[in-house]
Structure 1
Amino acid sequence: MKLVSEKRRILVLDKDSRMLSVVDDIMNYGDFDIHIMYDANMVYDTAKQINPDLIILDYLLLDNDCQLICQDFKNDSEMEAIPIIVVTAFKTRKSKADSYKCDALFVKPLDMNVLASRIDYLIAS
């Protein structure tokens, strides 16, 4: 039996610690169990181990295309239901959100109230 007050797990795939301020802000908006990783090659294994309620991806990943990672998650029958948020500093990427198959795309600087409400909505869905 699961406890109702169980923390929600968020997996963050970051490049060069660029998302740490976002993670700190998220922690102020809710009681989450946040797992930060920097190796895009391990994201699937880690996701299978921790079974996250939400995934946040930094658009600028080292040797991997963020779009391909999103599509791979959404094409995996075990993980397709996990909501994915992509965070980018490039305003031109906003128009391509559909091609990512992500559930939300945010452009920095982030409005933390909007991000927090979207996180709550996606996890509850």
Structure 2
Amino acid sequence: MEVLNKQKRLLVLDKNNRIQSVVDEMMYYGDWDVSITYDPYAVYDMAQSYKPDLIILDYLLLDNDCALICQDIKDDATLHHTPIIVVTAYKTRKARADYYKCDALFIKPLDMEVLASRMDYLIAS
């Protein structure tokens, strides 16, 4: 029988070490087992082996790499249900969740309570 309040798994792509403070705060807002990668090319493989409950992609620049990572995850039969949040510092016309096939898009600076609430919502849905 599975434990009801199991620790949630969070996979984070932290490009250029810009989201470490967010990860530290997430530990305050919930019981997370966090795995961090700094390599955008390793995210998909890590997601396959780690089986996260949620993925956060931190991108300095919104580019096609982010869209491709999201598409790879959403196309995978075992990962397609895993919510993806994209975090960026840039406001551009491309900064739309539907463009990246992600479940939420946040533009920095982040309101940690809003982010934590959205994370809980996405995992519950």
For 2:2 and 2:96, how far apart are their aligned partners in 1?
38
- The gaps in structure 2 that reach 5 residues or longer are none
For 2:96 and 2:123, how far apart are their aligned partners in 1?
23
- The gaps in structure 1 that reach 5 residues or longer are none
Asked if 2 retains the 8 angstrom alpha-carbon contact of 1:94 and 1:107, the reply is no
For 2:93 and 2:69, how far apart are their aligned partners in 1?
15
Using a 3 Å threshold, how does the CA distance of structure 1 residues 39 and 64 change in structure 2: closer, same or farther? farther
For 1:99 and 1:13, how far apart are their aligned partners in 2?
19
Q: Tell me the residue number matched to 1:78.
A: 78
Asked if 2 retains the 8 angstrom alpha-carbon contact of 1:11 and 1:55, the reply is yes
Q: TM-score, normalised by structure 1?
A: 0.91
1:80 is aligned with what amino acid?
Answer: H
Q: Tell me the residue number matched to 1:104.
A: 104
For 1:64 and 1:36, how far apart are their aligned partners in 2?
21
Q: Tell me the residue number matched to 1:118.
A: 118
Q: Tell me the residue number matched to 1:58.
A: 58
1:66-92 deviation line (CA, Å, top 9, x unaligned)? 111111111222211000000000122
2:106 is aligned with what amino acid?
Answer: F
Using a 3 Å threshold, how does the CA distance of structure 1 residues 93 and 14 change in structure 2: closer, same or farther? farther
Once the two structures are TM-superposed, the CA of residue 120 in structure 1 deviates from its matched residue by 0.4
Once the two structures are TM-superposed, the CA of residue 60 in structure 1 deviates from its matched residue by 3.0
Partner of 2:92: helix, strand, or coil? Answer: helix
2:102 is aligned with what amino acid?
Answer: C
Q: TM-score, normalised by structure 2?
A: 0.91
Partner of 2:15: helix, strand, or coil? Answer: coil
Q: Tell me the residue number matched to 1:47.
A: 47
Percent identical residues: 65
1:60 is aligned with what amino acid?
Answer: L
Aligned length: 124
Asked if 1 retains the 8 angstrom alpha-carbon contact of 2:96 and 2:105, the reply is no
CA RMSD of aligned residues (A): 1.8
Q: 1:8 aligned to 2:8?
A: yes
Once the two structures are TM-superposed, the CA of residue 64 in structure 1 deviates from its matched residue by 6.9
Using a 3 Å threshold, how does the CA distance of structure 1 residues 104 and 112 change in structure 2: closer, same or farther? same
Once the two structures are TM-superposed, the CA of residue 5 in structure 1 deviates from its matched residue by 2.4
For 2:35 and 2:4, how far apart are their aligned partners in 1?
20
